[in-house]
């Protein structure tokens, strides 16, 4: 018998986009080509406009640039800070597609718990 698909237990439409505020959102070569196609740019141009290099002991990694954000301090440059959603959903990097790598999102559980306890469906816990 085919396995029943697991039920997703988070709803990004009710979240202010915490995962898009991660400082290191990796952009691999295939991600860069996808973004470049989306904006009709060359990968080199897309790399310059949308990404920067992050250096660590493990080497260097291409990551998405950020903008200032009034909720989290800073957030991915592709995030619409009014509508609180991704503006390049179809062209987003693989790491964004894979997150949160399961049927639950820890941040969503936390937000839902606090909203219930504060009796405020809009509440955003910050620490």
Residues that bind ligand SF4 (CB under 6 A): 10, 12, 15, 17-20, 25, 64, 76, 78-79, 86, 88, 92-93, 96, 99-100, 105, 107-108
CA distances from 59 to 39, 53, 62 (A): 28, 10, 10
Which residues are registered as beta bridge partners of 85?
Answer: 80
CA distances from 49 to 9, 36, 41, 52, 63 (A): 35, 10, 10, 8, 11
Tokens linked to 47: 């790399």
Is the Cβ of residue 47 or residue 93 nearer to ligand SF4 in the bound state?
Answer: 93
Is the Cβ of residue 63 or residue 118 nearer to ligand SF4 in the bound state?
Answer: 63
- Cβ 118 to ligand SF4 shortest distance, Å: 18
Is the Cβ of residue 9 or residue 117 nearer to ligand SF4 in the bound state?
Answer: 9
């Amino acid at each position: 018998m085919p396995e029943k698909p697991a039920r997703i237990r988070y709803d990004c439409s009710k979240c202010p986009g915490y995962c898009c505020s991660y400082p290191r959102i990796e952009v691999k070569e295939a991600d860069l080509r996808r973004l470049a196609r989306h904006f009709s740019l060359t990968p080199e141009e897309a790399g310059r406009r949308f990404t920067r290099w992050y250096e660590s002991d493990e080497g260097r990694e291409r990551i998405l640039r950020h903008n200032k954000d009034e909720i989290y301090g800073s957030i991915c440059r592709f995030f619409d800070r009014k509508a609180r959603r991704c503006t390049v959903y179809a062209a987003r990097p693989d790491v964004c597609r894979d997150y949160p790598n399961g049927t639950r999102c820890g941040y969503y559980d936390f937000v839902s718990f606090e909203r219930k306890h504060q009796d405020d469906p809009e509440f955003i816990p910050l620490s």
